[in-house]
Amino acid sequence: MYVPHRNGGSDEFENITVTPENLFLRKPLPEYRVVLVSVNGSVNVVEIIEQVLGTAKACKSEVSLLLGPTSPFDSPVFQTVPVGWVASVDSAGKLNENVEVIDPRKFLDISLFIDRQPRDETRPKIIIGDFLDSLLLANGSIGRPAVFLFFNHLVSRAKKEGLTLVLILSEKLHDEHDVQMVRRFADVIIECRERLEDDRTILETRGINFADRVQTCWIPGRRECEAAAEIAQLEENGFHKPQKV
């Protein structure tokens, strides 16, 4: 994978191996504010969260999870970090020492969960999760303006405080308007999709990195990212079709 890199006004290209560990990012994960993993089809969200969690821990970051449809009990590695489970409208509070249940209609409780997490100013802070799925589904169309307002506030807070948000959004669950609202704030979008080809199910992934103005083509198999990939530099108002370099 060749990523355009500007140096002294001229275009150079550095060779970067695309692996599950670097998530299509040129810089360490904590240097980005909003990374969106956009899921379309029967993609394993638990696997994605595990992968991002491993990457975050490798960066010596303080990590917390804000889960939604995904359960904190779906993976043993989720028990190694604080978890806010934004899923229940019937009960709230501590489920155990590690997990706090949060009503998805109570945005203040989500903010307070983030506030309560220990913060070492010498270490980056990363929040990972699919809680936006729960917010959008639980609040419905009537509550959509409140969700957008909360999300705007969360992104502004991330930029001000240097937090990194890694958000997983299942596109098939939401209206196109809602999906585009979230995508608009992302520094990086990692798209994971499932499609049929000759009666076979193919899982593909690509990265659209607005912060570094690069994107990859669709790469078959999330575990086969070492395969050759084409790259395209982003236009100011859109993308080029990926071209070989």
Model pLDDT for residues 168-202, shown as the tens digit of each residue: 999 889 999 899 999 999 999 999 988 887 778 88
pLDDT at 42: 84
Asked whether the beta carbons of 166 and 126 are under 8 A apart, the reply is: yes
Band the pLDDT of 221: cuts 50, 70, 90: low
Mean of the per-residue pLDDT values of the chain = 80
**Helix axis angle, 144-161 relative to 176-183, nearest 10°?**
10
pLDDT, average across residues 110-120? 89
What average pLDDT does this structure show over 151-168?
Answer: 95
For residue 144, pLDDT beyond 60: yes
Q: Using the predicted structure, report yes or no on whether residue 75 has a pLDDT greater than 80.
A: yes
CA-CA distance, 93 to 82, in Å (whole number)? 13
| pLDDT confidence of residue 133 | 94
Tokens of 85: 């489970």
Instruction: Tell me: pLDDT of 79 over 80.
Output: yes
Instruction: Please name the residues in contact with 63: beta carbons below 8 A apart, sequence gap of 6 or more.
Output: 53, 56, 57, 81, 125, 126, 127, 128
Question: How many other C-beta atoms are found inside a 10 Å radius of the C-beta of residue 79?
Answer: 13
| Residue 228's pLDDT band (cuts 50, 70, 90) | very low
> Residue 133 in contact with residue 119, Cβ under 8 Å?
no
Please, what is the angle between helix 107-116 and helix 144-161, to 10°?
Answer: 20
Q: Which of 31-40, 107-116, 178-187, 235-244 has the lowest mean pLDDT?
A: 235-244
C-alpha to C-alpha distance for 112 and 89, rounded to whole angstroms: 17
Say which DSSP state 147 is in: H
Q: In 3-state terms, what secondary structure has residue 90?
A: coil
Q: What is the mean pLDDT of residues 98-120?
A: 91
**Sequence letter at residue 15:** N
For residue 37, the model assigns a pLDDT of 94
Q: Mention every residue, 6+ apart, whose C-beta is less than 8 A from residue 98.
A: 72, 79, 81, 82, 83
Helices (H) and strands (E) in the chain, counts: 5, 15
Residue 70 burial by CB count (10 A; 0-12/13-18/19+): exposed, middle or buried? buried
